[in-house]
Amino acid sequence: MAKKLKIGLIGTGGIAQSCHIPGYQSLPDECEIVWACDTNEEVAKKVAAEHGIANVTTNYQDVLSDASVDAVSITTPNKFHKQPTIDSLKAGKHVLCEKPLAMNGPEARDMCKAARDSGKILQVALQQRFSGAGQFMRKFIADGGMGEIYYARAQALRRRGVPAWGVFIDKEQQGGGPLIDIGVHILDFTLTMMGYPKPVSASGMTWDTLGKNPELYNMWGDYDRTKFTVEDMAVGFIRFENDAVVVLESSFMSNLDGNPYGTQLFGTKAGARMYFDQQFKGLEIYTEQNGQLFNMTPINVPDVKSPHTEEIVAFVRAIQSNGPSPVPGEQGLILNAIFDALYKSAETRTEEKIDVSF
């Protein structure tokens, strides 16, 4: 039996409590959370008491100095992803870092270099690829069912869904708004289906008028509109080295029907539509056989109760097997570099190049 892994939590807020802790606890014979670290000591102590975590600290260096710790989850605000990740890797710990990997491309580049130098796993917490639809489509695509995917339309749109908690409306701590908060998930899912082609340039536009308007309803409660410094909507046109194109749409607030969250893939053999929100839920495949057009609905899609748990399981198993990262830091860098280009394009009103080297 593989060694029981010792895990440290750097950040014990909502995402740690709702996703990371249940994920590790789903494998009680394979891993154990031994540290709870948070700058808010009261929260760290509360989480530790609720989940039987032995050690509590407000300084993540205490976690890293514990030689028994094998890996850490970093679930801090985006601004505080980079240094704990680099320090953890240098201390010989495997790292599962919440999305987005970093505030921007340069930070992500430094984190990827640290992972390469350390030889440890750096995994980005992007769980949607572990969903049932994600697992089914990856096999369907690998078996040649789609042919070459040359275009995709990815959407992570909310009609009135600004997070009224945390620091989601603060650009200084988040790096951006819906683009890097929820757009990151659907873009990663889309690029995973496409084999993660190398991006070369992007053109984008952002708006912030709705998010700053105090007269508008928000389904998750009110927030200080004067402190809203991120975009409320972003769209982008992304070109790739293989001539594929992705159009990305993401919003916290926009005047539309429902909250579409999913992607549409266009291939030379078939197309596919995968939406995960209630209104547009489902997986359909569109193809042609013998001159007849078919809309197909798979019935053997894997039943995945929690993609968040699946990503934790994948992280643990990769450590145990000394395997590659299930969601490599390099792919997190690609996402950050794309967002940098889209944000810059929104300012310059020109198409911007994308650099994913490190």
| Residue 247 amino acid letter | V
Q: Which residues contact 145 (CB under 8 A, 6 or more apart)?
A: 269, 270, 285
Contact 177, 100 (CB under 8 A): no
Distance CA 20, CA 309 (A): 7
Instruction: Indicate the DSSP class of residue 20.
Output: I
> Residue 25 pLDDT more than 60?
yes
Question: 138 or 166, which is more confident?
Answer: 138
Say if residue 77 is preceded by a cis peptide, omega within 30 of 0: no
Q: What does pLDDT average to over the chain? A: 96
Q: Work out whether strand 292-296 and strand 282-289 pair parallel, antiparallel, or are unpaired.
A: antiparallel
Q: Which residue has the tokens 């340069």?
A: 106
Structure tokens at 170: 């603060």
> Residue 99 pLDDT more than 70?
yes
3-class SS letters over 159-204: CECCCCCCCCCCHHHHCCCHHHHCHHHHHHHHHHHCCCCCEEEEEE
Contact 125, 78 (CB under 8 A): no
Q: What pLDDT is stored for residue 277 in this prediction? A: 79
Contact 24, 8 (CB under 8 A): no
Which fold is adopted by the domain 5-128+308-326?
Rossmann fold (3.40.50)
Q: Which residue has the tokens 């569109």?
A: 286
> Residue 198 pLDDT more than 70?
yes
> Residue 279 pLDDT more than 70?
no
Summarised one tens digit per residue, pLDDT across range 32-88 is 999 999 999 999 999 999 999 999 999 999 999 999 999 999 999 999 999 999 999
Q: What is the CA radius of gyration of the chain?
A: 20
Contact 175, 317 (CB under 8 A): no
Estimate to the nearest angstrom the gap between the alpha carbon of 253 and the chain centroid: 20
Contact 195, 146 (CB under 8 A): no
CATH number of 132-303: 3.30.360.10
Q: Which residues contact 59 (CB under 8 A, 6 or more apart)?
A: 37
| Predicted TM-score (pTM) above 0.85 | yes
Q: Which residue has the tokens 């650099």?
A: 355
Contact 180, 174 (CB under 8 A): yes
> Residue 340 pLDDT more than 90?
yes
Q: Of the candidates 232, 235, 229, 236, which has an alpha carbon nearest to the alpha carbon of residue 253?
A: 232
Contact 271, 175 (CB under 8 A): no
Strand, helix or coil for residue 247: strand
Q: Which residues contact 292 (CB under 8 A, 6 or more apart)?
A: none
CB atoms within 10 A of CB 295: 10
Please compute the mean of the pLDDT values over residues 196-208 and round it to a whole number.
98
Q: Which residue has the tokens 């953890």?
A: 88
* Residue boundaries of the structural domains of the chain: 5-128+308-326, 132-303
Strand, helix or coil for residue 108: helix
Summarised one tens digit per residue, pLDDT across range 9-19 is 999 999 999 99
Q: What pLDDT is stored for residue 1 in this prediction? A: 57
Q: Which residues contact 142 (CB under 8 A, 6 or more apart)?
A: none
